[in-house]
């Protein structure tokens, strides 16, 4: 049995420990004057990468495209938080190369091109990426676009077959022709 003096002593120790721990944790989480988190891509780069993603994953009769899923900010977040500095620089330098190549080859900015010209230009870039000696930026951009799109609500629920709460696990379910993959 605990007496009143023991209860007050125990409560004081617990309260003091909680205050000391919370002060250290809160101080560790505080930002020193920083109000905006820096991201790898500028607003222009984010807009361009969303246009590229929308060309790779366009709107169809079955599902909205990458632009409808607003993948630009997601790509920027994933690139900034999950990829190392070398990959971030490869993408930013690659987007600058992409803009220059588009102006040189198509004499226009990428968003101003027709859908057919965009697709043709991306095929040319993909061919360049396959023969490049060093790591090319385009496979990474395509990977980011697909990851951001298929992890979005639109991509997971409308481009893929989606069951919110599945039943039992079936490891081998045949797909019919034209049927989307499972989310």
Q: What is the mean pLDDT of residues 105-125?
A: 94
Q: Is there a domain that residue 68 lies in?
A: yes
pLDDT of residue 19: 64
Q: Does the pTM exceed 0.85?
A: no
Q: Would residue 182 count as lying in a domain?
A: no
- Is 117 a member of any domain? yes
Strand-pairing partners, residue 182, are 161
Mean pLDDT over 67-82 rounds to 94
Compute the average pLDDT of residues 60-87: 93
Domain for residue 53, yes or no? yes
**Quick check: is 106 in a domain?**
yes
Domain containing residue 84: 43-159
Q: Is residue 28 part of a domain?
A: no
Question: What pLDDT does 10 receive?
Answer: 82
Mean pLDDT of all residues in 142-153: 94
Which residue, 79, 86, 3, is CA-closest to 39?
A: 79
Report yes or no: 68 and 41 within 8 Å, Cβ to Cβ. no
pLDDT of residue 144: 96
In the prediction, which pLDDT does 34 show?
52
In a domain, 2, yes or no: no
* 12 found inside a domain: no
182, HSE (Cβ side, Cα atoms, 13 Å): 12
Q: How many domains is the chain partitioned into structurally?
A: 1
């Amino acid at each position: 049995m605990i007496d009143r003096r023991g209860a007050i002593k125990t409560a004081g120790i617990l309260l003091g420990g909680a205050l000391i721990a919370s002060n250290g944790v809160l101080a560790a989480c505080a930002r020193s004057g920083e109000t905006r988190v820096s991201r790898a891509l500028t607003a222009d780069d984010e807009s361009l990468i969303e246009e590229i993603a929308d060309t790779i994953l366009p709107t169809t009769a079955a599902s909205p495209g990458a632009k409808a899923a607003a993948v630009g900010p997601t790509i920027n977040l994933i690139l900034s938080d999950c990829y190392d500095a070398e990959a971030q620089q490869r993408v930013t330098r690659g987007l600058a190369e992409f803009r220059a190549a588009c102006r040189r080859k198509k004499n226009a900015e990428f968003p101003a091109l027709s859908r057919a010209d965009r697709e043709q230009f991306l095929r040319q870039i993909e061919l360049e990426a396959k023969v490049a000696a060093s790591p090319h930026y385009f496979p990474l951009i395509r990977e980011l676009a697909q990851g951001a799109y298929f992890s979005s609500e639109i991509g997971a629920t409308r481009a893929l077959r989606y069951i919110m709460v599945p039943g039992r696990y079936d490891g081998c379910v045949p797909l019919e022709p034209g049927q989307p993959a499972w989310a």
